[in-house]
Every structure is written in C-alpha cells, then in structure tokens.
Chains A and B, each alone.
Chain A
Amino acid sequence: MSESNSTVSHLDLETPEKPFLDANELVINMGPQHPATHGVLRVILRLDGEKVLGLECVIGYLHRGVEKIGEHRTYAMFNPYVDRMDYVAAVSNGLGYCETVEKLLGAEAPPRAQFVRVILTELNRIASHQLWLGTHALDIGAITPLFYTFRDREEILKIYEKYCGARLTTHAFRIGGLQYETYAGFEKDVRNFLAFFRPKIDEYEELLTTNRIWVERTRNVGVISGQDCIALGVTGPVLRASGVKWDLRKAQPYANYKMFDFEIPIGENGDTYDRYLVRMAEMRQSVRIIQQAVDALPEGPIMAKVPKVIKPPLGEVYHSIEAPKGELGYFIVSDGSTQPYRVRVRPPSFVNLQALDVMCRGQLVADVIAVIGTLDIVLGEVDR
C-alpha cells in the first residue's frame, strides 16, 4: 500500500519508469486484528523504509458506552460495569469508583475494609504487571516469561475466587466498604502467596534483566522525557521511568496508603528497558505493602453506615487513584437522584496511548510492537 510507487503496476524489467526503491514514504496499516496490538488497536504507520516517520491510532472498536450506561443505572448497579474497562485490573477500577461515590456521600470505609481493599488492590497491581510482563516479552520474542507469569498470576486469581467467587471481573468492593468478610484462611493464603512470589520476581529478572536480546530490543527504544510525559498527560510507570517521582499513593494518598512504608521506583532514561525495571520494582514494593497490610489487618466492621438506596446530595466530585497503568480518575455529577447524572472516567490507557506517536518516531517497525507493549494499554479502557 505505498503511495509513491503505486504507479508501477506493470512488470517492466528493462526500463523501469522509476527506480524500484524510490518509495520514500510508505503508509501501512497495523491492526485492528493483530496479535501484538493487545486487543483491537489500529495503527496507521507512515514509514521511510523500516523507519517510522509518524503514526496515527484509530481506536473505538471496543466502545461500549460505559459512561452513558452509568447515567442509566443506580450507583450500586454501575459498580460491576467499571470492572469491564481495565479488565486485567478490575479491583483497581472498583476502588476508584467506590471511593468517588463515598466522597460524594461523605462516607468513609471502616479500617478493616480499607486494609482488605489495599491488599486486594496491590495483589491486582502485581497481577496486572505480570500480565503485562508476559505479553510484552512475548511480543518481543521471549516466550518463556509468559508461562512463568501466568503460572504465578493464577495464585492471585485463586485468592480472588475464594474471596468473591470471580477471578477477573471481581466486583470486590461495595460503596461504603466490602460486602463479604474475608474467608477463613485469607490471611494465610496472602502470606503464602507473598512467600511464594518473592523469589519468582528474581526468576523473571533472571530471564530478562541481563538477557542480551532483551536488553538490545528495549534499551533506547521508545524514549520519552519526563517533560514530554507531563505535557501529554502520561502517568503511571511510564512517567516514573522517565525520572518523575510521582505516584498518587504518595502525592495524594487515598484509602489508607498513608500508613504503609514503601518507595516509588523511578527510572532515568525513559526507555522501554527502564519501564521494565520500574514495573519489576513496583511488584516488589507491592509485596512490601501487602505484607504490612496483612500483618496489621485489624478486626472490626467492614461496611460504613451508608443508606441502602444510595442518593448522594447535589454536587460534583473528581477523585483519582494510582491504577497499575497510571492515574485513573472518576468525575461524578450527582443531581440528588439514585442515578449519577454524569459519570466520567479518566482512563490512564487512553491518555497514555497518545504518547505512542512521539515515542515511535525514528524507531523501527519492530520497535512499535515493543512500545505498544511497554505502554501497557488495555483497549477495554481506551475505548470504554
């Protein structure tokens, strides 16, 4: 599908009208059905040979009108829908939504609920990063990490399944706290998982961190500066890998993150390799947080006093959390009825995906795959 050599339609080996390799600019289409675009992302690439001159993303293939649905459901009924946006980090979505509605109501979840929320959300961060690592490495050509990460992610999903019966779209939290008390043996399961998982991170790192092919494929690929990240609104591990030490869990603590001791890992170069290192370090930090939370897990009620029918007073609130992929925000307008007047979701994947063009310019086509992987997008969240 080239523009400039489309005139050469006949085979004329003797006297070509144009030299065969005259094509300076080539436009090719990648996706929406492409295994390395992580769903249904379509990218139109403008190339000079193998070099990317620019690209345009075409999105919306998975648009389900989540925000519109929100206006036609009660506050409690909409809760399961948010799980279906970033479906690999459903627990985080639920946390953001529940906390936003609680803000509107002026309610706060009781301490025990807060601790369980932090445990499940951080487990979800690990699960999300594991899925990212497996698929990202697979895209680049390393097949083994996928089996390792999926094997270990299963242990997290088992905890979810035992807790609420669902593995992916968990609907784990309710507005005001939790619906279910933890099952007998929850703390033991979480502790066992932490003991099991700690050496596994080393195992992943052993496969990749000094692997020459991995390093060559990721170092200096998809470089973006911290300034560009901020200008484009890019958040999460991508921003931190560019050297900006910013994490909403520290900057504007929500839930009870204030109580835990953890660090914000950052990178220096803002390349794909640094983003890999940052996410690996984040998994270790999540383990630290979960350990502290499970050790300090208090007894007590799990549900705040919220009315059966949730009817927040007139008003509007924006609240955001640090989801595994970046800042996940909810803007909810209440008109005093049982249904939100407007629900706006600020999805990290959608905003981060904008940086793809900047990050891919001057790179090779094969690197586009690496950059899509390193951005860690979920199309369910991009398209909503």
Chain B
Amino acid sequence: MITRLKASYGSGIRPLTYAGQEYMGVDRSLVPEILQVLRNDEQFDYCVDLTAVHYPKRERPFDVIWVLYSFARNQRIRVTTEIMDGESLTSSVPIWPGTNWLEREVYDMFGIEFDGHPDLKRILLPEGWKGHPLRKDYGILQQDQEWVQINLGIESGQ
C-alpha cells in the first residue's frame, strides 16, 4: 500500500521500516491529503494516537506522528512528518473526531498548532501556563513559578 501511495505521490513519501513495523515519512504539505486518502480509500478508520517528538538540533525540529489502524485490514501504520518550530498543521478532527484531545495534548506539550481545530487549548496543564514541557529545552524541574505563585499562593511547587 505504501508503495502504491509512493507511486502516485513520488518523493513526498518515504517508506520506512523498523523492527518489522512499517511507517512513512510524509512532506508537511501532503499530510492533509494523505490522511484523507488513508481514511477514505484505505479504510484506516481508527486514529490510535497522535504525538510529537522534539529534535532541537534539526533544521525542522519537530516530528509529528499519527498512529492509524484499519479494522478491515487489521493493519497498523504510522505517518510521520517533520515541521519547523511555529509551523502549524491541519487538524484531523473532521476526519477522526477522536483526535480532538490528542491534538490538544500535542499543542499543550509541544506548542504545535492545528488549524481548524474546534477548541484548541491546553488540556493537561492549566490555561495561562507558560512553556511546553515536552520540548527538550524545558528542564525536568522547570515550572511556571509565576503561575504557581499567583494561582496557588505558594512560593514554589517543589
């Protein structure tokens, strides 16, 4: 299937495999179309997970990963794309409503925005928190001291 997609999209798709698991790297501009094709034509009707990885030294520092599953094929596939800091992606909520909270979590933890998301706001951290904790430049003991002081009335959360 990946080879078939590769035939129609060319260099925009890079088939990858590791430990027997197939996944594909997709150019950011192709992502909305590929996800739509996977959902509608290839029967990947269940979006298992959506997450990101931060590589601060890379030119395009974020990997965003969709884990998809097809009940009809009993097959799992991952789609990954590389984006620049500050670049946004198209929301997949219209395709898989279940990605609503997953996109909010990626926004919360990495600061990646999704265009067209119905209600993009933080989910695990409180509104008004500064910083995105799963970025590599966010220290493990780092906190938004100001938020803690104002909202909890204590000097430090640690």
Q: Tell me the A residues contacting B by CB distance below 8 Å.
A: 59-60, 63, 65, 67-69, 71-72, 103-104, 106, 230-234, 244, 246, 251-252, 315-318, 320, 327, 329, 331, 333, 341-342, 344, 346, 350-351, 353-354, 383-384
- Chain B residues within an 8 Å CB radius of A342: 53-54, 134
Per-residue CB proximity of B46-82 to A under 8 Å, as 1/0?
A: 1111010110000000000101000100101010000
- Chain B residues within an 8 Å CB radius of A71: 140
Q: Which of B21, B67, B71 contacts A329 (CB 8 A)?
A: B67
Chain A: minimal CB distance from B20 (Å): 8
Are A65 and B133 in touch, CB under 8 angstroms?
yes
Cα separation A19 to B21 with both chains bound (whole Å):
64
Q: How large is the interface on B (under 10, 10 to 19, 20 to 34, 35 or more residues)?
A: 20 to 34
- Chain A residues within an 8 Å CB radius of B126: 60
B101-122 interface (Cβ within 8 A of A): 101-102, 109, 122
Are B67 and A230 in touch, CB under 8 angstroms?
no
Chain A: minimal CB distance from B41 (Å): 17
Are A68 and B98 in touch, CB under 8 angstroms?
no
Are B19 and A104 in touch, CB under 8 angstroms?
yes
- Chain B residues within an 8 Å CB radius of A106: 19
Chain B: minimal CB distance from A129 (Å): 23
- Chain B residues within an 8 Å CB radius of A59: 123-124
Q: Closest residue to B142 on the A side, CB-wise?
A: A68
The 3 closest A-B CB pairs, nearest first, are A233-B98, A60-B124, A346-B49
Can you name 18 extra interface pairs (CB under 8 A) apart from A60-B123, A232-B98? A60-B122, A63-B125, A68-B133, A104-B19, A106-B19, A230-B45, A230-B46, A244-B71, A316-B18, A317-B19, A320-B48, A329-B48, A329-B67, A331-B65, A342-B54, A344-B49, A344-B51, A346-B48
Q: Closest residue to B18 on the A side, CB-wise?
A: A315
Cα separation A219 to B122 with both chains bound (whole Å):
35
B147 at the A interface (CB under 8 A): no
Chain B: minimal CB distance from A180 (Å): 28
- Chain A residues within an 8 Å CB radius of B138: 68
Cα separation A67 to B52 with both chains bound (whole Å):
12
Q: Which of A68, A317, A327, A344 contacts B18 (CB 8 A)?
A: A317
- Chain A residues within an 8 Å CB radius of B21: 317-318
- Chain A residues within an 8 Å CB radius of B122: 60
